[in-house]
Amino acid sequence: MTANRKTKLFYGYIMVAAALFIMTLAWGALFCIGVFFKPMLEELELTRAATSIAQSISILLTGFVGIFLGRLNDRLGPRLIVTAGGLFLGAGYLLMSLTESGWQLYLFRGVLVGIGMSGTYVPLLSTIAKWFYRRRGLMMGIIMSGIGLGTTVMPPLANWLISSYGWRDSYIILGAATLISVILAAQFLKRDPADAGQFPYGGVEAKQEEVAGLSPQRVLQTTQLWLLCFIFLFFDFCADAVLVHIVPHITDFTISAASAASILAVLGVVSIPGRIVMGNAGDRVGSKLTMLICFAVMLTSFVWLLFAREEWAFYLFAIAFGFPYGGLAALMSLVVTELFGLSAIGLILGIVTCGATIGAAAGPALAGFIFDVTGGYQLAYIICTALSAVCVVLTLLLKPVTGK
């Protein structure tokens, strides 16, 4: 029996609850952009590619600023960083209500929201990894299910707000809710179990080499780090191209905006068990095998999407894509700790996340450009199919790194 089990309440579970709430609100709001797409396009007279750039900027900044904040989180802990993230997120969405031109869209929705998101993702995941040596994959899956919950709840809510109050007032509501809620939840966060007078869950049985991990200098010299960066770059390219453009893509087939938002919501719902089930599977059979299964299913879903035309077919795609999408997102931090340990988890996770965000930025932008040039998304989804196959191959090459 570990020291944690002798206490009435392990504070790590409060950490998980707070992180889950923050992820739900922050990422749910981020992926509402597909619902705001057409109302903003009509009023601001922008193309789909131009509007997608705002999402790309925010995703890129989430990664690049996340490297710095991940390292800072290793030293200072998450409370201050996540609080600052909530301030930037709230300010970005509130100012979106005043947008009149493209540069304002990029500054408010791109820069401010991107900096805010960087203050939530890496700090939360790298902190929770320190609280759980056992059940780490499961806890990461629960936290990452917040993205699925947000994708489930927020797009239909945003669609209702826009239809009732217009897109500008909807951004005011979204900004106020984000500002207040994220800052309040951040006050429950603690740097590590020692701050609560506890040990990590399973910490007594943890292997010393896992606790120590590799030095940052050694990690940067490994091929495995860069393989991992490319795997998640390609994955997020595909995932964010879908999350941003699937709603306008579906409505191009004369399917209603409400139905399209519901299909996106189904994707979010299915991603929730994907994150929890595959995160738990990663604990049991290892992250590599679990990732291979996820990429194989994702590849199959993209082949299906190439031929989908009817509403029922898009619902089926949402189910087939949502499960591995959720699972892979939950496995990122687990595979990082399995390969490299915990000594510089914030920095390493920040680097891998940066690679992922490059793909997440490129995916929506390229998909929007392809639509503007060809009048459809078929070529974009062919590219996603090919990249899914590449991810299968690269995952087969992953192996643990040894030595200091």
Tell whether 183 is covered by a domain: yes
CATH number of the domain to which 230 belongs: 1.20.1250.20
Alpha-carbon distance of 120 to 300, in angstroms, equals 32
404 has pLDDT over 70:
no
Q: What pLDDT was estimated at residue 214?
A: 59
Most confident of 156-160, 259-263, 353-357, 380-384: 380-384
Q: How far is CA 287 from the centre of its chain?
A: 18
Tell whether 403 is covered by a domain: no
Higher per-residue pLDDT: 258 or 304: 304
How does the average pLDDT of the chain come out, rounded? Answer: 85
Tell whether 207 is covered by a domain: yes
Tell whether 402 is covered by a domain: no
CB atoms within 10 A of CB 118: 31
249 has pLDDT over 60:
yes
Q: What pLDDT was estimated at residue 212?
A: 52
Shortest CA distance to 78 belongs to which of 199, 191, 194, 195? 191
Q: What pLDDT was estimated at residue 5?
A: 47
The arithmetic mean of pLDDT across residues 163-188, rounded, is 92
Residues spanned by the domain of 368: 7-396
Alpha-carbon distance of 209 to 199, in angstroms, equals 17
* Position 62 confidence tier, pLDDT thresholds 50, 70, 90: confident
Instruction: Kindly report the three-state secondary structure assignment for every residue of 350-393.
Output: HHHHHHHHHHHHHHHHHHHHHHHHHCCCHHHHHHHHHHHHHHHH
Q: What pLDDT was estimated at residue 182?
A: 94
- Taking only the tens place, the pLDDT of each residue in 72-91 is 887 888 999 999 999 999 99
Shortest CA distance to 115 belongs to which of 85, 156, 154, 157? 85
Higher per-residue pLDDT: 31 or 321: 321
Tell whether 259 is covered by a domain: yes
Q: What pLDDT was estimated at residue 4?
A: 46
Tell whether 404 is covered by a domain: no
Alpha-carbon distance of 374 to 372, in angstroms, equals 6
Tell whether 37 is covered by a domain: yes
Number of domains in the chain: 1
- Taking only the tens place, the pLDDT of each residue in 90-125 is 999 999 989 888 888 899 999 999 999 998 888 898
The arithmetic mean of pLDDT across residues 335-347, rounded, is 77
344 has pLDDT over 90:
no
- Taking only the tens place, the pLDDT of each residue in 251-293 is 988 889 888 888 988 887 898 899 889 988 988 888 899 999 9
Q: What is the DSSP string of 319-352?
A: HHHHHHHHHHHHHHHHHHHHHH-STTHHHHHHHH
Higher per-residue pLDDT: 200 or 393: 393
Which one-letter amino acid corresponds to residue 266?
V
Cβ within 8 Å of residue 180, ≥6 positions away:
90
Tell whether 1 is covered by a domain: no
Alpha-carbon distance of 77 to 96, in angstroms, equals 30
